[in-house]
Amino acid sequence: MELGSKKRAASGSHRQPIDCSNCRGAQVACDIWACDAGPQQPLLALVEQLGLKLDLLERDNAQLRADLQALTARQLDTDATVGRLRAQLAAATEGALTERSTTNTTTTTTTTTGEPAAKRSRRSHQAEVHGGGGASLAFQHHQAGEAGTWRSLLDLRRLMPFLDPYVLPDTFVPPDLRGPVLCTQVTTGGAAPPVFVFANSALCELFGCTLAEVIGQPLTSFVALDREKAARFAKTRSKSLFRARSGQLWRADCSLHIFFDQHGDPKHVLNSLVRWEPGQLEGSEAFDQWTPVSELCKQLLISSHDMQQPHTPHAHTTPHHPMTPADGGPDLFPPWLSAPGDLTLEGLSPSDYWTLL
């Protein structure tokens, strides 16, 4: 036993400390009294290779950070340029519309005083919104002049870019998109109810739900439709019953703006709630029901045959089809639809109804 202890002590006395200066700062725990220089050479080479790779990664990372900073600066410059160009475009367009409005006003004062009141009212349309029950639901629509209409159209194109392909009229139904506004898309053939494709924050707050809970839902899940009055769906003013998520029912005066495609078929319906108050179901109103367009046209045809008294539509109150030139610019209503605030079904021919299909 004593001899073995002496041999181990003698062999240990020949071991020398290892120079670990080649570890290049790597965190290697070395027992300098227990390691032989020979067996440690592969490990030192591996540590040196790892150190070189670490240096390369640090240089690459520094280059990536520099590139990211440059891209961020360019993005900020681009955003600033886009914002400046948009502001210049809006200012230039609004100035042109203001000049056009001044010209129209001058022309109007020099013409005869026999201009229809309905036409004048359309150019100076103003709506007021009153909430019911003392609730904080009041919303005042500003006067929809030329400049105000253009601001509303700018908001429309920003919020609902899918309406860009349409030709927009001079006077836009919702004069201010800060009130509750929804937009639905008509399904192909009209066999199913339209679905929500847009709702602003004011409408979501009124309904008590989020935007994700509204988009894609059928119109009938929020609006009660009357089967006996299905033919009135195409009018540009309606008094509809809405249902909030909490179950609260709101009777609202709505302004409808119908967008037609290149074939004259209804494509999107923009619904702007003008005023609302607590309401309840009336007559044959019901939620989750829909009348297909084919059945709607049949009802319109029956109504037309039942009407015996002649009726001559007023040219100044009948908006034009988008494919038909008009003095006041193209409108987005078929010729058989009446002006906002009025619906006349008299004097319609069967060919008029197929405009809807």
Determine the Cα–Cα distance for residues 159 and 148; give it in Å rounded to an integer. Answer: 17
User: Is it the case that residue 175 has pLDDT exceeding 90?
Assistant: no
Res. 243: pLDDT tops 80? yes
Residue 7 has pLDDT above 70, yes or no: no
pLDDT in tens, 49-67: 888 888 888 888 888 888 8
pLDDT at 113: 36
Say what the pLDDT of residue 303 is.
Answer: 56
pLDDT, residue 188, reads: 60
- Given a cut of 80, is residue 146 above it in pLDDT? no
- 278-332 pLDDT tens trace: 999 988 888 988 777 666 656 655 554 454 444 444 443 433 333 333 333 333 3
Give residue 33's pLDDT.
Answer: 42
For residues 335 and 196, give the distance between their C-alpha atoms in angstroms, rounded to a whole number. Answer: 26
- Residue 262 located in a structural domain: yes
How wide is the angle at C-alpha 179 spanned by C-alphas 264 and 88, nearest 5°? 80
For the chain, give the percent of residues with pLDDT over 90. Answer: 10
Higher pLDDT, 79 or 29: 79
Alpha-helical segments (H) within the chain: 2-12, 41-110, 117-123, 146-159, 201-207, 211-214, 293-306, 350-353
- Residues 185-238 have pLDDT tens digits of 877 656 688 899 999 999 999 999 999 999 999 988 888 877 655 444 444 677
CATH of the domain at 164: 3.30.450.20
The pLDDT mean for the chain works out to 64
| Cα–Cα distance measured from residue 226 to residue 287, given in angstroms and rounded to the nearest whole number | 9
Within a domain: residue 259?
yes
Question: Tokens representing 203?
Answer: 């409408």
Most confident of the ranges 28-32, 96-100, 158-162, 246-250:
246-250
**Is the model's pTM score more than 0.75?**
no
Query: Residue 185: which domain range?
Result: 150-301
In a domain, 217, yes or no: yes
What pLDDT is attached to residue 25? 46
> How many structural domains does the chain have?
1
How far apart (Å, rounded) are the C-alpha atoms in residues 54 and 99?
67
Given this model, what pLDDT does residue 86 score? 74
**In sequence order, which residues have a C-beta less than 8 Å from that of residue 47 and are 6 or more positions away?**
22, 23, 24, 26, 28
Q: What pLDDT is recorded for position 226?
A: 72
Give 253-272 pLDDT, tens digit per residue: 887 777 776 666 677 888 88
* Rounded CA separation 97/93 (Å): 6
- How many whole angstroms separate alpha carbon 254 and alpha carbon 173? 10
Closest C-alpha to 163, from 275, 16, 39, 261: 261
The per-residue pLDDT for 254 is 84
Contact 237, 255 (CB under 8 A): yes
Instruction: Give a yes or no: residue 322 inside a domain.
Output: no
